[in-house]
Amino acid sequence: MEWMILPYKRYFDFSGRSRRLEYWMFVLFSLIVASVLFALIMAGGLNFAALSNPEALDMSFGPLFWLGGLLLSLFWLGSLIPGIAVVVRRLHDRDMSGWWYLGIIVASMIPIINFIAGIAFLVLMLLPGTPGPNRFGPDPKDLASAEVFA
C-alpha cells in the first residue's frame, strides 16, 4: 500500500526518479479506485443498454449515481498532478527529460500515430531505469541512497 500512495506524498515533486514499482502500483491503485467508483455509478442507475441507445436513457438516476460521479471527479482532479509527476520521474529514471511526456501526449492526438505513441509510452514505462546515478539523481533501487524517498 505504501507504493500506491507514494505519488500522493510526493504530490508536486517533478524532480528525482521513480521506480517501475511506484508507477505501476499507482496505476493499479487508480484503476481499483476508479472501478469501485464506476460500480457505484452503475448501482445508481446507469447501465450499458441505456448508453447504447441514448433515446432510452432514463434521466432519473439515483443518489448513488451522483455520489459516484462526484467522488470520481474529485479523485481524478486529486490524482492528475501526482499522475503527471510520477510519469515525469519515471522518465527521469530512464535518463530522459520529462518533456518527452508532452511529446507523447501531442503524438497521441494525431490519428494513427496515437497507436504508435501509446505503445512507445507503454514500453518506456515497462523498461528498467538506468543503473546507478544519472543526471536526475541517485538510483532509487540503490539501498545506500535512502534519501531518495525521504
Host domain of residue 42:
2-149
Q: What distance in Å separates the CA atoms of residue 4 and residue 24, rounded to the nearest whole number? A: 8
CA angle 96, 97, 101 (to 5 degrees): 100
Does residue 52 register a pLDDT over 60? yes
CB 64 within 8 A of CB 44: yes
User: For the chain, what is the domain count?
Assistant: 1
Range from 16-25, 39-48, 140-149 carrying the lowest mean pLDDT: 140-149
- The confidence band for 87, taking pLDDT boundaries of 50, 70 and 90, is very high
Helices (H) and strands (E) in the chain, counts: 6, 0
Q: What distance in Å separates the CA atoms of residue 101 and residue 9, rounded to the nearest whole number? A: 21
pTM: 0.84
**3-state DSSP call for residue 97?**
coil
Does residue 19 register a pLDDT over 80? yes
